[in-house]
């Protein structure tokens, strides 16, 4: 069947035109009916941008978690290598020339006894006795170290997720303080990032450990299932393989849900100081009442961050390509020799530079993404708990209040109440 022949038919292009026209109408209808929520999402993105520009220290925050993760990786690798060296010497018994053995002892009988001795395992470190010795063969007997390696792997997942959870809660506390101190800057701390780090470390370590433990357990179970599946490949049992794949898929989906739950639970903990379970319940119920807003904000944020990463990678990659190829210095051999290197294949370092720029852009984009999520939850709490009165004023920006048609009554009294 020649697929290209269909594209030469007018009916094919007519059908494609109708399909894309229907999709365009659907997208336009979605934009029309969700225009207010899209405006709210854009306003929340603007608030997150203002928060980042006001608290520039959050841009350097990813450096500390990155260093902590490198320390965790180095420690886990050291433990794994140390466990790999744990082994017992394995030997086999041999016969010594024993002077007590009489010469009348036949050679055939002596060889038979020697063969029997070689079948008996022994410890080469033990003292040899008269008439027999233990010859060293190799280091082995590592049957128990595999359990220690699995425990080491679990600790790796736990520590890495703990660092990520600490990062999220610290940023959540920083952006939450920015949101709720917008009407009274005097109530804000001088260094909200360090203040939030102190609160997260000394008051919410248990919540961080529990949330990261749940994710680490699921990751460890997935790796264990993959290990079992690899061991059972020789059996070639389709039913077992299918069940293992189903379990692995279920654990993967559950892990994604727990990551979403932990992220929003840590934001609620940063706002109210609740326990992990209470914060999870509050976050889920709050988001369940605002599903459409959550979807719009999430997709708009993903699109903006994708464009930002694409721009950064394109600029850095373009500059690297121009430098590596010596395009700016064409016609001047002296500058080419001084500022460029004689590379035979520039695509390898260019690929490394592009990958590194993407990773760096992702690190800093994660700060902005956490700011958007935190301000969004603060906005929802503000909208449900407050009514704009002097006793319960709105903390949202004037732009958000104008979009929603809200206002604070008697602003001067509001400031005094705060």
Higher pLDDT, 232 or 327: 232
Query: Which 8-state DSSP code applies to residue 314?
Result: H
Is residue 208 situated within a structural domain? yes
Domain count, the chain: 3
The answer to whether residue 288 scores a pLDDT higher than 50 is: yes
Q: Residue 166: which residues within 8 A CB-CB, separation 6 or more?
A: 65, 197, 200, 201, 208
CA-to-CA separations, 86 to 121, 134, 148, 154, 162, in angstroms, rounded: 19, 21, 11, 19, 29
Query: Which of 251, 283, 315 corresponds to the end of one domain?
Result: 283
| 108 and 158, same domain (yes or no) | no
Distance of CA 331 to the CA centre of its chain: 47
| 152 and 225, same domain (yes or no) | yes
Contact predicate 195/68, CB 8 Å: no
Residue whose pair of structure tokens reads 């949101």 in the numeric block: 179
| 239 and 260, same domain (yes or no) | yes
Query: Which of 140, 155, 182 corresponds to the end of one domain?
Result: 140
Is residue 52 situated within a structural domain? no
| 150 and 130, same domain (yes or no) | no
Query: Which of 283, 317, 332 corresponds to the end of one domain?
Result: 283
Is residue 267 situated within a structural domain? yes
Higher pLDDT, 76 or 407: 76
| 160 and 270, same domain (yes or no) | yes
pLDDT category of residue 104 using cuts at 50, 70 and 90: very low
pLDDT category of residue 336 using cuts at 50, 70 and 90: low
Is residue 166 situated within a structural domain? yes
Task: Kindly report, residue by residue over 134-174, the tens digit of the pLDDT.
Answer: 665 556 666 678 888 999 999 999 999 999 999 999 999 99
Q: Rounded distance, CA 49 to CA 166, Å?
A: 22
Closest CA to 381 of 389, 370, 392: 392
Is residue 191 situated within a structural domain? yes
Residue 254: per-residue pLDDT:
92
Mean pLDDT, rounded, for 285-307: 88
Contact predicate 99/87, CB 8 Å: no
Is residue 386 situated within a structural domain? no
Mean pLDDT, rounded, for 305-317: 90
CA-to-CA separations, 207 to 31, 69, 219, 220, in angstroms, rounded: 39, 19, 19, 20
Residue 105: per-residue pLDDT:
45
The answer to whether residue 186 scores a pLDDT higher than 60 is: yes
Task: Kindly report, residue by residue over 382-407, the tens digit of the pLDDT.
Answer: 888 888 787 888 888 888 888 887 78
Contact predicate 175/371, CB 8 Å: yes
The answer to whether residue 329 scores a pLDDT higher than 80 is: no
| 116 and 208, same domain (yes or no) | no
| 152 and 270, same domain (yes or no) | yes
The answer to whether residue 418 scores a pLDDT higher than 50 is: no
| 181 and 268, same domain (yes or no) | yes
Mean pLDDT, rounded, for 278-306: 89
N residues, the chain: 418
| 174 and 256, same domain (yes or no) | yes
pLDDT category of residue 100 using cuts at 50, 70 and 90: very low
Q: Rounded distance, CA 348 to CA 144, Å?
A: 43
Q: Rounded distance, CA 401 to CA 384, Å?
A: 13
| 18 and 109, same domain (yes or no) | no
Residue whose pair of structure tokens reads 């020697």 in the numeric block: 114
The answer to whether residue 132 scores a pLDDT higher than 60 is: no
CA-to-CA separations, 142 to 83, 86, 87, 126, 207, in angstroms, rounded: 9, 7, 6, 19, 37
CA-to-CA separations, 382 to 379, 388, 393, in angstroms, rounded: 5, 10, 9
Q: Rounded distance, CA 324 to CA 375, Å?
A: 42
| 114 and 232, same domain (yes or no) | no
Task: Kindly report, residue by residue over 193-227, the tens digit of the pLDDT.
Answer: 999 999 999 999 999 999 999 999 999 999 998 88
Residue 14 belongs to domain spanning? 3-33
Task: Kindly report, residue by residue over 25-48, the tens digit of the pLDDT.
Answer: 998 988 888 888 888 888 888 888
pTM of the model: 0.78
The answer to whether residue 253 scores a pLDDT higher than 50 is: yes
The answer to whether residue 279 scores a pLDDT higher than 90 is: yes
Residue 345: per-residue pLDDT:
72
Higher pLDDT, 261 or 235: 261
Is residue 99 situated within a structural domain? yes
Q: Of 126-130, 182-186, 354-358, where does the model show the most confidence?
A: 354-358
Is residue 121 situated within a structural domain? yes
Contact predicate 58/171, CB 8 Å: yes
Contact predicate 186/248, CB 8 Å: no
| 151 and 134, same domain (yes or no) | no
CA-to-CA separations, 19 to 15, 349, 362, in angstroms, rounded: 6, 43, 35
């Amino acid at each position: 069947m020649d697929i290209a022949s269909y594209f030469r038919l007018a009916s094919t292009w007519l059908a494609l035109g109708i399909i894309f026209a229907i999709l365009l109408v659907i997208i336009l209808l979605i934009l029309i009916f969700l225009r207010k929520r899209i405006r709210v999402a854009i306003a929340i993105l603007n608030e997150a941008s203002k928060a980042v520009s006001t608290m520039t220290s959050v841009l350097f925050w990813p450096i500390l978690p990155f260093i902590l993760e490198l320390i965790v990786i180095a420690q886990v690798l050291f433990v794994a290598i140390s466990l790999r060296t744990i082994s017992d010497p394995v030997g086999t018994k041999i016969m010594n020339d024993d002077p007590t053995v009489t010469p009348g002892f036949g050679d055939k009988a002596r060889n038979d006894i020697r063969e029997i001795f070689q079948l008996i395992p022994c410890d080469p470190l033990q003292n040899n006795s008269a008439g027999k010795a233990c010859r060293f063969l190799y280091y082995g007997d590592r049957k128990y170290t595999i359990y220690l390696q699995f425990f080491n792997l679990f600790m790796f997942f736990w520590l890495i997720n703990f660092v990520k959870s600490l990062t999220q809660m610290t940023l959540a506390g920083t952006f939450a303080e920015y949101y709720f101190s917008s009407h009274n800057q005097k109530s804000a701390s001088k260094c909200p990032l360090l203040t939030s780090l102190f609160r997260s470390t000394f008051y919410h370590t248990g919540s961080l450990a529990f949330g990261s433990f749940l994710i680490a357990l699921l990751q460890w179970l997935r790796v264990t299932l993959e290990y079992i599946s690899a061991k059972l490949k020789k059996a070639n049992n389709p039913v077992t393989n299918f069940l293992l794949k189903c379990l692995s898929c279920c654990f993967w989906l559950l892990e994604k849900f727990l990551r979403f739950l932990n992220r929003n639970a840590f934001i609620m903990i940063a706002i109210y100081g609740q326990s992990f379970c209470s914060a999870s319940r509050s976050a889920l119920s709050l988001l369940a009442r605002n599903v459409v807003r959550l979807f719009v904000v999430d997709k708009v944020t993903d699109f903006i961050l994708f464009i930002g990463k694409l721009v950064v990678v394109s600029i850095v990659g373009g500059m690297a390509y121009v430098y590596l190829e010596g395009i700016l210095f064409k016609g001047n051999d002296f500058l080419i020799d001084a500022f460029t290197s004689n590379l035979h294949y520039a695509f390898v370092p260019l690929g490394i530079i592009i990958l590194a720029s993407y990773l760096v852009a992702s690190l800093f984009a994660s700060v902005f993404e956490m700011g958007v999520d935190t301000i969004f939850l603060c906005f929802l709490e503000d909208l449900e708990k407050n009514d704009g009165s002097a006793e319960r004023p709105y903390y949202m920006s004037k732009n958000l209040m104008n979009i929603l048609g809200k206002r604070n009554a008697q602003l001067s009294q509001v400031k005094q109440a705060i």
